Chains A and B, each alone.
Chain A
Amino acid sequence: MWNRRKEDDFVPKPASVPPTQSQLAQEGIPMSTLSGRSLDSSPQQSGSSRSANIGKSVTIKGQILSREDLTIDGEVEGTVEAQENRLTVGPNGKVVAGIKAREIVVFGTIHGNVETTDKIDIRKDAKLIGDIKTARIVIEDGAYFKGNIDITKPEVVRPAAAAAAPKPQPVTTTPASTTPSTPHVATAAAGSANDVKR
């Protein structure tokens, strides 16, 4: 309790223990070189629950484009984009880059401008030097931040526009019985979900 380290707050997503080669051979499971990722490719496991890690002894220079949640605990220089996903900069992470992500959690250091569509969370002992454009921001005491904060307002469907648009069909709550909806209905639903969230 008393000697609590900075890293203690940072809990990376649990990585599955890779099976040994003999176990795989016994079970007839194909081998994978992707560490920290489940080999089970069932629908529940894929999608948003997937996460990639850049370890603390890794240095990357260039452009990173991620379509899954990403944790950087090493050094990255360049640009990082995870538009639909969450980016976590671990306590050992040092990112010198422009970043775009849905959500960013910072335990380490970022030098560069940051843009999120949802939220940025700057934790205690984190350091961020650069401009932030985000919908929501959390700054813990002890974090260091230098730069501009620009809060972007979420797009809300205007009543006039909604009235002019054709009435959407009622949406049932049972996923199995949901009928394919028009693009406009999908947009409105996303808008109202945002409203509830805020």
Chain B
Amino acid sequence: METRNSHGLEQFCASIQEPEGLSILDLAGANQSTVTFITSLGHRIYSDDVLRTLESVYGTDDSSVYDPPHMAKFLEQSLEFPENHFDGALVWDTLQFLPPQILQPAVDRLHRILKPSSCMLALFHAEENLAAVPACSYRIQNSRTIQLTPRGGTRKAAQHFNNRNLEKLFQDFASVKFFLTRDHLREVIVRR
């Protein structure tokens, strides 16, 4: 178990301080710590484990064909919400594990369901060995601290992202802000 100070989280939390009753999307699965933190601010939280949904739609076999019907099914099961529905999104590192064919449609869907000016916190691994990124869950301890809890095993990241890739990925959003960190986890705040 590891904790880290997060300037990205600090900025995200500042964006959802008030008013009460905001809707926050968490794509990395429900955990007690994050649920308690968000609901203690008076907000609602929608939790889903997007990578688990991905596995349930495609299986764990890498040779799966990312055909349009499967892609539509995945997006429908994981990101089907009305337009401008959420006031913030905790994406964590999930985008890095989405196959390239699905990544941009998923980001487009996030753009659609987030309200204008709302924030999204995303993390991207910059390790050399992206084929075996330790799987972990991210839990908010307080407005500045994230706890990384190992889930056991590793995951294969779909691709490496540099700043230019990320700017291109989020080109429809109003702004992309990178935070310098000492470790291999890059924090990004994307404003809709």
B3 at the interface (CB under 8 A from A): no
Whole-angstrom CA separation of A146 from B25 in the bound complex: 11
Q: Do B46 and A137 touch across chains, with their CB atoms under 8 A apart?
A: no
Interface-side segment among A40-48, A66-74, A148-156: A148-156
The size bracket of the interface on A is 10 to 19
Interface-side segment among B30-38, B159-167, B183-191: B30-38
A139 touches which of B23, B35, B52 (Cβ 8 Å): B35
Q: Do A144 and B39 touch across chains, with their CB atoms under 8 A apart?
A: no
Whole-angstrom CA separation of A139 from B38 in the bound complex: 14
**A150 in contact with B44 given A137-B35, A139-B32, A139-B35 (CB within 8 Å):** yes
Whole-angstrom CA separation of A89 from B5 in the bound complex: 39
A145 touches which of B39, B44, B47 (Cβ 8 Å): B47
The size bracket of the interface on B is 10 to 19
A34 at the interface (CB under 8 A from B): no
* Residues from chain B with Cβ under 8 Å of A150 in the complex: 44
Q: Do B35 and A148 touch across chains, with their CB atoms under 8 A apart?
A: no
B49 at the interface (CB under 8 A from A): yes
Please name 12 pairs of A and B residues whose Cβ atoms are closer than 8 Å in the assembled complex, sorted by A: A137-B39, A139-B32, A140-B32, A141-B32, A144-B49, A144-B52, A146-B47, A146-B48, A149-B30, A149-B39, A149-B47, A150-B44
Further 11 A-B residue pairs, CB within 8 A, beyond A137-B35, A141-B32 = A139-B30, A139-B35, A141-B31, A144-B29, A144-B30, A144-B49, A145-B29, A145-B47, A147-B47, A149-B47, A151-B44
